[in-house]
Structure 1
């Protein structure tokens, strides 16, 4: 430890010296490793950076991170941007989320403007006296915690809380007595997120831990096991109920994540294989089976059934299906003897996509989308009638039941690019939206001056691609405005409208925001998703490029002002966009990005993602992975835009060496003289709830990009920052 501290101190002094002299960092050493994939030789010069436990690698990331911080700290406007985030956040006196009802008790998370993370509260009745139940900031003196998840018991007398420490994404589960606020003896580690489901009698709960809480451990999520914990028992003795080894006859693959939970009314037990494949694999059993040495499972749905969601209401199961219906349909089948193949069509495929289904005690709620904006229909299972829920404006909408097992009260929310979220209480029998007691109205500056355009632009192959453009009134379409263009295009996740205070801070500075809707999402249904999937993945970044070309052609921005941003799986999009069209962008943000697709299987979360991206073990899928691999498309001597790569050392979803290797390759290859920086977050994972960390993280990204895009608020008068580059 003493040697390590001394080493870091030396590097820190070196960084300060380099920055003071405006000298670039030394390029990362190239240590070629050649892999041959089905006859194709691929050279990986930065394989050595994958060993995050190696001291040299640790020092490389620390050096990169310190150098990047030194640059970012001197960008004018960065700290002002943080202050704007704080100011806008303070306009909402309190933020409520995750409201759940058990009996007459309402549990929820509330965050005040002065708080970096939320606290858990409880009240008797919606308008009862509020009681603080748990404050993560005072849990252990000297340590930083946040609540990843919380689940009250069926009677509301106890609650399981998932605790994350220091920006990590693994949780430790603790049980809390609601009346006494005393913790139980159990402490269960290595649970991703922290979600669990209680036994009907409240005597214990179901959960699935990873094998370790080390985000660098590639085997942490292999052969995981769903377990039962009885209150006050030793977690080390928790029996395994559902796993590949426990159930060898079920054909569970090592990378699939087995989860167990009950129907809302606790009349059925489900065993589900969590996967990125939208088509569910689920078995069902009687809840009484948890007491037996082995559960007798009955098949509910397989991928061939193409069921993407299901809910139980009364004696029926309602299935959201894409089988033969790209935009979705709702099927109904008997809950005790379900048969998706012979299920009755309740709501046939229409012009709109079916995006979500949820249920209350007697009602089914169906969210439908025209590709961007959503509407909600409700179905009364007792009278077999349909009605629409009236919404105050168009945008993203949804329903969250308070206690679906016992009543029909729900929350309805709606938001858009230029309308902050509004939350209502809705009782289906009355069909009235009433402002929720868990909603605080707020007015933000500049919102009334925002303009939203929803257009469709021709893609590279002539296919029309949706594009959302948001800007302030009075925009001159002369190419002078900086534009932040974001995209994702994976897992069938659509870029639905959302309101962001961070986005508002940029909009109020005259920045144009563009949300792309490339193939790989589900804006136009399942076919749109499959058109940006594995071998068709190039459509994703080509749609992104086409969107940028459109914005420039129409004068919203120009190549010297356009910023591209991709996050997580969107790293494929941004990485391949800048390697295919480096001339298109002034700057790019590659945030916790999948940048080395050929090596994703060698990380913790990689095997789980094989159904989405493919595997190197299949010749066709392997070549598709090579095509989407940004690292292996970096070319020496190319004038790349300024790039900020971001990685989290606590990230179990996209390991930090993915963006790290990409940054190293770009630093060695670029001939543009523009900076390529690697921001390393040691207090963050993929994301974090901590507002202080989040505000600084995003302010860093935006300030860097706007500096390079020439926004006047982020320029140094003497231009010395442009000399602090990382180049060969």
Structure 2
């Protein structure tokens, strides 16, 4: 770093922090207050750090360098940091697998031998002798190019795959021959939020892409996203020759997803308009699988956005569809394409008291994944809806999404083998295979652990939120821990976008529990744990329910003597970062430390950046007076108050995060540092920001980077909760 940046790092306020061995002086980098003031429906709102939204400006880059020059040495000097880094590396060093996909007798799966930055993709031709098909670790010197998804062709001759650099959501698609592992000349760009759907003949696939930016501008990480379109790419042709399949110029924010039925007959198109699960459902008859044609018009089975629809498969012209229509917790219906009216749909599996999370056609029937109080259940049904029993899971855990492929269940109609994984707070994701024809299953890819899962305990309890709503809470800890009110505790939450937080394994959480920590996970409203109504109860003008649920979880842990405010920390990522920021503002006295990661912190302007507009279904926007009043009341950036003794805060973000742009965290950190200046807050605790470089929202982050970041966070957590 040059002298100018070191000098900048030395400017600003200082705060005395006792790290145990000696006092350190933190001098926050100077962050000039701008004069920007916006008028929202007669309310004038200052935005003094608007300049930090321009993440590539020289002024912002200098501030970022200065912040890291402050935070990184401080974190490195924390007493247990090096021991924590070594222990994280030791526990992360275990063989693990992504969920297999089976195509044409071949098995495709990701495997990491322990500390590889990225998992390696293998193919097993059926002889039990897997070979490397694609190693992302060879694509960059620092491990920051990740394999984000892949899809074998139906005959397993080709592999279409996507890579992303530095954690970006921007993907590049390529095609590799499975036989020799050599890439073809096919190369597709301008892709975000797209799947890969091969036609049955194996000669091409459907995908979605965004147009190039206007003439004269250069494509960049933070481009505005609009006018996505659905295309068909034929192998061996240039991207410019791809066939346009679907678009709607009048609706620039519509998104397009596609899949092809297993028999190759139908193209299924999902139309979305934001981050919600509700979608329209269109179907195109491709004719024969051997010679598919795009000539037929779309049949618009559903052309509104009132419910969720996912096609599980078909038998002839009958589609089996999972939907939330007239079933807030989900049901499975049969739709005859010759009689597409909703009145003609037949319920195959009715709504139950549990939430239908996903399902697929496998073997000669249906397999449904349900959520019961945020834990998983696997049930079997015939295509006539007749119950065929339950596939037992090992315990209080979940069937997770695994990174490569992003699927929870892997199987095909007519193939009796079903693959799924199981995980819990003390059990890394482990793949199972179940023979549906024999009603028997087994661990498919055993993993060797360097710890004993029996040393750890998970309890599920239920507590009441401020309005009396019953909320689930998982509490995990090492055997022998006493409820004495002094245990270091990390409470984690999310509460949004109908995303369910279920039991999952985490190496950093295990290291924390090894050292006497308690890890608690709250299933807040806004998630999907109890279906659509649960989600909607935490959205728009009901978003305060989520913060109340989180604060009530903290109060429960304190009342039940698990911990006390002096030992309690909270954490959350993305929408969960918003949760942490808002809760700290509303209840600073409850916590000793807080970890808002890649958070949405400026609720008045979030919709103006990259994909932010898509979150309006959950948040609303400040474009309406009602939306402004709601958002302004809890926006983390706008509700920081001078003179308040906040908990110790470690903000984390990344310079290439093009989902929740880093300007959110930059502005929040600058405002918080200004508010805790020691002349106004005697004994103020640190407010630091750690800004990862050459990284994004989190997906695909190399193991090496993860270990360094988690060592910093754990050292900070233990410093302020013991």
TM over 0.5, shorter chain = yes
1:254 paired residue number: 252
Say if 1:37 and 1:369 are closer, same or farther in 2 by CA, change over 3 A: same
Find the residue that maps to 1:374 and give its secondary structure.
strand
1:501 paired residue number: 507
1:25 paired residue number: 28
1:178 paired residue number: 178
1:226 paired residue number: 230
User: 1:305–1:340: 8 Å Cα contact kept in structure 2?
Assistant: no
Describe the superposition over 1:406-463 as per-residue Cα deviations: whole angstroms up to 9, x where unpaired.
5231113222223333322112111101221xx1233342521222221111211222
1:279 paired residue number: 278
CA distance in 2 between partners of 1:572 and 1:23 (Å): 25
Say if 1:551 and 1:612 are closer, same or farther in 2 by CA, change over 3 A: same
Q: How many residues are paired up?
A: 692
Kindly indicate whether residue 639 of structure 2 is the aligned counterpart of residue 612 of structure 1. Answer: no
User: 1:305–1:323: 8 Å Cα contact kept in structure 2?
Assistant: yes
Describe the superposition over 1:617-645 as per-residue Cα deviations: whole angstroms up to 9, x where unpaired.
23323322223311111112211111111
Task: Single out whichever of 312-321 and 392-401 deviates more from structure 2.
Answer: 392-401
Find the residue that maps to 2:508 and give its secondary structure.
helix
CA distance in 2 between partners of 1:526 and 1:402 (Å): 25
1:375 paired residue number: 377
| TM-superposed deviation, 1:96 | 1.8
Say if 1:397 and 1:132 are closer, same or farther in 2 by CA, change over 3 A: closer
Find the residue that maps to 1:422 and give its secondary structure.
strand
Say if 1:649 and 1:356 are closer, same or farther in 2 by CA, change over 3 A: same
CA distance in 2 between partners of 1:471 and 1:77 (Å): 20
Describe the superposition over 1:253-297 as per-residue Cα deviations: whole angstroms up to 9, x where unpaired.
322222232123322112222431122222111125998787622
1:307 paired residue number: 308
Find the residue that maps to 1:185 and give its secondary structure.
strand
Find the residue that maps to 1:598 and give its secondary structure.
coil
1:117 paired residue number: 118
* Match of residue 574, structure 1, among 577, 580, 583: 580
User: 2:410–2:420: 8 Å Cα contact kept in structure 1?
Assistant: no
CA distance in 2 between partners of 1:347 and 1:502 (Å): 40
Find the residue that maps to 1:523 and give its secondary structure.
coil
| TM-superposed deviation, 1:206 | 1.6
Describe the superposition over 1:521-543 as per-residue Cα deviations: whole angstroms up to 9, x where unpaired.
12233222111111100010111
Aligned-CA RMSD value: 2.6
Describe how 1:309-324 pairs up with structure 2 within 5 A: 309-315=310-316, 316-324=318-326
Find the residue that maps to 1:520 and give its secondary structure.
coil
Task: Single out whichever of 678-687 and 229-238 deviates more from structure 2.
Answer: 229-238
2:399 paired residue number: 397
Kindly indicate whether residue 90 of structure 2 is the aligned counterpart of residue 87 of structure 1. Answer: yes
| TM-superposed deviation, 1:387 | 2.0
1:647 paired residue number: 653
User: 2:621–2:627: 8 Å Cα contact kept in structure 1?
Assistant: yes
Describe how 1:552-563 pairs up with structure 2 within 5 A: 552-563=558-569
Say if 1:76 and 1:192 are closer, same or farther in 2 by CA, change over 3 A: farther
Describe how 1:706-717 pairs up with structure 2 within 5 A: 706-710=718-722
Say if 1:144 and 1:331 are closer, same or farther in 2 by CA, change over 3 A: closer
* Match of residue 672, structure 2, among 666, 675, 682: 666
| TM-superposed deviation, 1:9 | 5.2
2:404 paired residue number: none
Say if 1:326 and 1:616 are closer, same or farther in 2 by CA, change over 3 A: same
Find the residue that maps to 1:576 and give its secondary structure.
helix
Residue segments in structure 1 that go unaligned for 5+ positions in a row? 1-6, 711-728
CA distance in 2 between partners of 1:276 and 1:632 (Å): 24
1:423 paired residue number: 431
CA distance in 2 between partners of 1:611 and 1:189 (Å): 28
User: 1:310–1:357: 8 Å Cα contact kept in structure 2?
Assistant: no
| TM-superposed deviation, 1:615 | 2.3
Find the residue that maps to 1:651 and give its secondary structure.
coil
| TM-superposed deviation, 1:680 | 0.7
| TM-superposed deviation, 1:549 | 1.0
Describe the superposition over 1:597-629 as per-residue Cα deviations: whole angstroms up to 9, x where unpaired.
111111101111122211222332332222331
Say if 1:291 and 1:43 are closer, same or farther in 2 by CA, change over 3 A: farther
Say if 1:653 and 1:538 are closer, same or farther in 2 by CA, change over 3 A: same
CA distance in 2 between partners of 1:160 and 1:381 (Å): 31
CA distance in 1 between partners of 2:675 and 2:119 (Å): 44
Say if 1:554 and 1:381 are closer, same or farther in 2 by CA, change over 3 A: same
* Match of residue 264, structure 1, among 262, 274, 293: 262
Describe the superposition over 1:55-78 as per-residue Cα deviations: whole angstroms up to 9, x where unpaired.
111211221122211211111222
Say if 1:649 and 1:337 are closer, same or farther in 2 by CA, change over 3 A: farther
User: 1:649–1:681: 8 Å Cα contact kept in structure 2?
Assistant: yes
Find the residue that maps to 1:187 and give its secondary structure.
strand
Find the residue that maps to 1:475 and give its secondary structure.
coil
Find the residue that maps to 1:452 and give its secondary structure.
strand
1:721 paired residue number: none
* Match of residue 351, structure 1, among 335, 353, 363: 353
Kindly indicate whether residue 698 of structure 2 is the aligned counterpart of residue 687 of structure 1. Answer: yes
| TM-superposed deviation, 1:548 | 0.5
Find the residue that maps to 2:66 and give its secondary structure.
helix
Residue segments in structure 2 that go unaligned for 5+ positions in a row? 15-22, 213-217, 401-406
